[in-house]
Chains A and B, each alone.
Chain A
Amino acid sequence: MSRIAAKFAALRQEGRGALVTYLQAFDPDRETYRAILHGLPAAGADVIEVGVPFTDPMADGPSIQKAGQRALKAGATAAGVLDLVRSLRTLDDTTPVVLMGYYNPILTYGVEAFCKDAATAGADGLIIVDVPPEEADEVEPHATANGLDLIRLIAPTTDEARLPKVLAATTGFIYYVAITGITGTRSADYASMAPTIANLKRHTDLPVAIGFGIRSPAQAAEAAQAADGAVVGTALVDTLAASLDSEGRAGPDTVKNVLGQVSGLAQAVRAARKVAA
């Protein structure tokens, strides 16, 4: 069983949803990010999304755009990101790692080589924001051959007619985008999403994580209860950014503040037991 499937199965046994964290690799620099990454499992992250920086993140708001700029300035490359994943795997062999980013850096690396190297480094899945199912035939064979899940976003705009096509192209888990919009702009009423998720589940057996706009522990708990997981990204990136000096360099509290926030979110998610289905 893949790490992703094993993790969601274990959490189902526990009767709770997953806390999925997103930060961008190399933000604000490689070693600070490495310290955060290594600390995430103990702080309570159940699934770790590692953002692969790109100059033109068209689905991201200002916070994650700036994170990308800091990361690129710090020398982020796709190969460098995979090195970081490899270093996590020397300490942790169970927490799933999902690489999330845009297509062009992967294309430049070589799709086949990237999938192979990502799997070897210990990554478990990919989210490529700008590769919809219509274009996925370039990626799918290589991801499958290397045992990487292709996690897809389902948006409020994804209609019933399109849903089966998107679901058929998804493995690992489903990332339900709670708002029509980019990251870090608006929040939704996550508690009210249970019917939407139930409807999704009529079409799929995959776990569903809700993301976009989740900032507080209470929101994370609601989302994790309404679905199988809550993704928190911009709120963590904002905490990280607030700890930096005026030059964008890590401060003494950067690692501590980010991991502290993850702990708070994790406690809330753990306290929110799922009603037995």
Chain B
Amino acid sequence: MNKPLPNSLRQGPDGRGRFGEFGGRFVAETLMPLILEVEAAYEASKKDAAFQAEWRRLLTHYVGRPSPLWYAERLTTHLRKKAAPGKGAKVYFKRDELNHTGAHKINAVLGQILLAKKMGKTRIIAETGAGQHGVATATACALMDLPCVVYMGATDVERQQPNVFRMKLLGAQIVPVTSGAATLKDAMNEGLRDWVANVHDTYYCIGTVAGPHPYPAMVRDFQSVIGTEARAQMLEAEGRLPDVLVAAVGGGSNAMGLFYPFLDDKDVAMVGVEAAGRGLDTHEHAAALSRGRPGVLHGNRTYLLQDGDGQITEAHSISAGLDYPGVGPEHSWLHEIGRVQYVGATDDEALEAFQLCSRQEGIIPALEPAHALAHVIKAAPEMPADSIMLMNLCGRGDKDIFTVAKHLGENI
């Protein structure tokens, strides 16, 4: 393995779980001993060849990795039509929507459930927004014969019905959460509350690069399989690295997974796309980095949507997976040091991109990566024709067709 250079951006977090000033372990005392236990177990697993081999085996034969790198030629041609002569970047997709269960979430779930087993935990809990992380966790628990409880905001239970039923089929218990706006933040609160009460036998499988240390680093490391594969695939396809990476940012796990292996490649620019909901200048969006400020929630210090008194405000997005008022702490750090640029895409832009991708590429994307694609649609035509844009197509849209149909005024 390559050791990171002294001036590498891939050295975080520090011993306290901080990326710059972000991250940490802001949890109640009841959880603290367990968080330290998870950290010790995770550190040991990194050096455990059998653990790593088992995770790799599952990724290959169960998930279907490596996922392909796809040159989106029709989309590229389509976007060049609107571009000035000599403009219009080549667009590639990293196709994590082809993973078993339909999104990137399964990469980190399998790693975490293996870890839970190694720790001797016999019960798994998870929070979910879009339901993709819940489905992935329920899937891994079915495979590994563990009981699984999934907390899901009641609003999200409504708008992600197909995934709710999927989780039931997989044998998970779904607990609708009605507090707050009944979305992802509230589901995470309930997950933490369950964990506090059941620390002796329960492992909390967090679905993104947030939560207390070691979760942001651990989930990032597992998801980095995306960027590591994409880097090698791009070198093979084009003989060089891409010019820009683009990924949607909810909590930020698919984005960190793509970005992390490229962080020290100075010529590779990176754009994280937050949900701008009804617009960044309205109060209805989920753009923690663009419009929030640093605070402490769910165990870490990070950018948050909050009012002047430090009360957390509700996020809004058409996409349940992006509907979260916070963001992983490593993104907050990458934002502050300027390594990654964070922009927004609105509900309408995502809907537009969702349809365009379906027609141009024959791929129905999830609403989350549709936000990333909305940025590609804006940015690719501005770039030279010999430049390369790589987007993380981190989930498929099966779960979203009812939501999209409703917005398009169709009855299905």
- Residues on A lying within 8 angstroms of B by beta carbon are 53-62, 65, 72, 77-78, 102-109, 129-132, 134-135, 152-159, 162, 166, 177, 179-182, 185
- Are the CB atoms of B309 and A58 closer together than 8 Å? no
- Are the CB atoms of B29 and A158 closer together than 8 Å? yes
- Are the CB atoms of A108 and B196 closer together than 8 Å? no
- Are the CB atoms of A103 and B296 closer together than 8 Å? yes
- Are the CB atoms of A158 and B33 closer together than 8 Å? yes
A156–B180 Cα gap in the complex (Å)? 29
A64 CB → nearest B CB, Å: 11
Please report whether the interface of chain A is mostly helix, strand, loop or mixed according to DSSP: loop
Cβ 8 A contact of A104, one of B28, B179, B312: B312
Collect the chain B residues with CB atoms within 8 Å of residue A53's CB: 311
A103–B306 Cα gap in the complex (Å)? 13
Residue among B25, B32, B33, B295 with max Cβ neighbours from chain A (10 Å): B32
What are 15 residue pairs bridging A and B, where the CB atoms are less than 8 Å apart in the complex?
A: A54-B311, A58-B196, A104-B312, A105-B309, A105-B310, A108-B295, A109-B310, A134-B32, A152-B29, A155-B28, A157-B32, A158-B32, A158-B33, A162-B33, A180-B198
A140 CB → nearest B CB, Å: 15
- Are the CB atoms of B34 and A77 closer together than 8 Å? no
- Are the CB atoms of A135 and B25 closer together than 8 Å? yes
Verify if B30 is at the interface (C-beta below 8 Å from A): yes
Verify if B161 is at the interface (C-beta below 8 Å from A): no
- Are the CB atoms of B308 and A108 closer together than 8 Å? yes
- Are the CB atoms of A155 and B30 closer together than 8 Å? yes
A159–B37 Cα gap in the complex (Å)? 12
A183–B111 Cα gap in the complex (Å)? 32
Cβ 8 A contact of A108, one of B27, B193, B310: B310
Cβ 8 A contact of B296, one of A60, A72, A130: A130
A interface footprint on B172-198 (CB within 8 Å = 1, 0 otherwise): 000000011000010001001100111
Collect the chain A residues with CB atoms within 8 Å of residue B200's CB: 180
Verify if B16 is at the interface (C-beta below 8 Å from A): yes
- Are the CB atoms of A108 and B309 closer together than 8 Å? yes
Verify if B26 is at the interface (C-beta below 8 Å from A): yes
Residue among B33, B192, B311 with max Cβ neighbours from chain A (10 Å): B311
In B302-357, which residues have CB < 8 Å from any A CB? 304, 306, 308-312
- Are the CB atoms of B196 and A180 closer together than 8 Å? yes
- Are the CB atoms of B199 and A157 closer together than 8 Å? yes
A166–B198 Cα gap in the complex (Å)? 22
A72–B306 Cα gap in the complex (Å)? 13
- Are the CB atoms of A132 and B32 closer together than 8 Å? yes
Collect the chain A residues with CB atoms within 8 Å of residue B312's CB: 55-56, 104
The residue of chain A having its C-beta at the shortest distance from the C-beta of B18 within the complex is: A135
- Are the CB atoms of A104 and B295 closer together than 8 Å? yes
Collect the chain B residues with CB atoms within 8 Å of residue A62's CB: 179
- Are the CB atoms of A59 and B299 closer together than 8 Å? no
Verify if B24 is at the interface (C-beta below 8 Å from A): yes
Give 8 closest A-B pairs by Cβ, nearest first.
A108-B310, A181-B197, A105-B310, A155-B30, A104-B310, A59-B28, A153-B29, A130-B26
The residue of chain A having its C-beta at the shortest distance from the C-beta of B32 within the complex is: A132
Given A56-B312, A108-B308, A158-B33, also A135-B26 (CB < 8 A):
yes
Verify if B283 is at the interface (C-beta below 8 Å from A): no
A185–B30 Cα gap in the complex (Å)? 15
Verify if B298 is at the interface (C-beta below 8 Å from A): yes
A65 CB → nearest B CB, Å: 6
A58–B194 Cα gap in the complex (Å)? 10
Collect the chain A residues with CB atoms within 8 Å of residue B298's CB: 56, 58
Collect the chain B residues with CB atoms within 8 Å of residue A107's CB: 295-296, 310
Given contacts A106-B310, A134-B16, A180-B197, 14 further A-B contacts (CB under 8 A): A58-B192, A62-B179, A78-B310, A108-B310, A130-B27, A130-B296, A134-B24, A134-B32, A157-B33, A157-B199, A158-B29, A166-B29, A179-B197, A182-B196
Cβ 8 A contact of A56, one of B31, B34, B297: B297
Collect the chain A residues with CB atoms within 8 Å of residue B296's CB: 102-104, 107, 130
The residue of chain B having its C-beta at the shortest distance from the C-beta of A59 within the complex is: B28
Collect the chain A residues with CB atoms within 8 Å of residue B197's CB: 179-182, 185
Collect the chain A residues with CB atoms within 8 Å of residue B192's CB: 58
- Are the CB atoms of A132 and B25 closer together than 8 Å? yes
- Are the CB atoms of A131 and B26 closer together than 8 Å? yes
Given A108-B295, A180-B199, also A153-B25 (CB < 8 A):
no
- Are the CB atoms of B308 and A157 closer together than 8 Å? no
A157 CB → nearest B CB, Å: 5
Collect the chain A residues with CB atoms within 8 Å of residue B196's CB: 58-59, 180-182
Given A58-B193, A180-B197, also A155-B29 (CB < 8 A):
yes
A153–B308 Cα gap in the complex (Å)? 28
The residue of chain B having its C-beta at the shortest distance from the C-beta of A165 within the complex is: B32
- Are the CB atoms of A61 and B193 closer together than 8 Å? yes
A177–B25 Cα gap in the complex (Å)? 20
Residue among B16, B25, B33, B200 with max Cβ neighbours from chain A (10 Å): B33
